[in-house]
Amino acid sequence: MENIISIKDVTYTYPESKKPAINRLSLDIYRNEWLSIVGKNGSGKSTLAKLIDGLIESETGTIIVDGQEVNEKNIWEIRSKIGIVFQNPDHQFVGATVEDDVAFGLENQGIPRDEMVKEVDAALKMVDMQDYKTRDPQSLSGGQKQRVAIAGVLATKPSIIIMDESTSMLDPNGRKTVLDLVKQLREEQNMTIISITHDIEETELSERIVVLRDGEVVQKADPKAIYDIGRKLTNYGLEEPFSSQVAYLLKDELKLPEGYLNEEELIENIWKLSSKM
């Protein structure tokens, strides 16, 4: 698989702290994969996202994004390839209306107005928010705001989308619409998705989970292998999946297969048991 981002030996320490937030971290991210980055608060997840986008500068090591090294010279080109959707929908709205906000990234690139109008419409259509074009962001729900934020990111046609806990402030419905949208976008637009999250459902959608602790990668595996850890997932800042909790409580009473089962598999197995009895 081809790397779209390769991070090599990167260290970053916040000015006010003694301990590095990211400590000699190396990681390859493949083109068109959906990668989840998980970890407890302060494990360096968001710092990593900022480093990839060149919003902060690493002390050591190199980061290569789509063949270009992140440095002063390439930074604007790299930023145009990466779209970040942040946690708080209210804190990333620049425009006074939905359409103005979606246009912000395009305005920054100096795209002529006629083209912008088309791009804004297309981006709003992709996230199914075209009916809200002239609305004031304050009048939207959290999920709608995040969809507009995604439209703003899509308008500039990035190849990588970073979701920095983008669904953590949304209600279950809002979260579902945003995740469905991201899933669909990845399939249709061939994007690479990096989601920084605490949400177990979000990691289930991804192909690979990277666990950070104290600025280092401590685990790298597909979701199933990570969920096998079961009880200890809380050490990684993740909640144990519901099915795994149920399986753990049942393990003394019933004979269930080893390893992680998702909800459907668990139900299937319990059914089989009861039909044997």
Residues lying near other proteins in the complex (CB under 8 A) are found at 50, 53, 55, 76, 79-80, 82-84, 86, 88, 90-97, 99-100, 103-113, 116-117, 120, 137-138, 152-153, 156
CB closer to other proteins out of 67 and 112: 112
- Pick between residue 88 and residue 262 the one whose CB is nearest to other proteins: 88
Closer to other proteins at the Cβ: 63 or 238? Answer: 63
Cβ closer to other proteins: 118 or 224?
118
Shortest Cβ 90–other proteins spacing (Å): 6
Q: How far is the CB of 216 from other proteins (least distance, A)?
A: 24
* Phi/psi at 228 (5° precision): -55, -25
Edge-to-edge strands of the sheet including 3-12? 22-30, 3-12, 60-65, 68-69
Contacts of residue 213, defined as CB under 8 A and 6 or more positions apart, other chains included, come to 39, 40, 43, 236
CB of 85 to other proteins, least distance (A): 9
Determine the Cα–Cα distance for residues 259 and 266; give it in Å rounded to an integer.
11
For residue 212, give every residue at least 6 positions away whose Cβ sits within 8 Å of its Cβ, in sequence order, or none.
Answer: 25, 37, 38, 39, 43, 44, 45, 48, 218
Shortest spacing between CB 227 and other proteins, in angstroms: 31
Q: How many other CB atoms are there within 10 angstroms of residue 138's CB atom?
A: 9
Write out 100-121 in H/E/C secondary structure: HHHHHHHHHCCCCHHHHHHHHH
User: What are the φ/ψ torsions at residue 109 (nearest 5 degrees)?
Assistant: -90, 0
- The minimum distance between CB 208 and other proteins, in angstroms, equals 23
Identity of the residue, 103 or 205, whose beta carbon is nearer to other proteins in the bound complex: 103
Closer to other proteins by Cβ: residue 22 or 261: 22
In whole angstroms, the minimum distance from the beta carbon of 27 to other proteins comes to 20
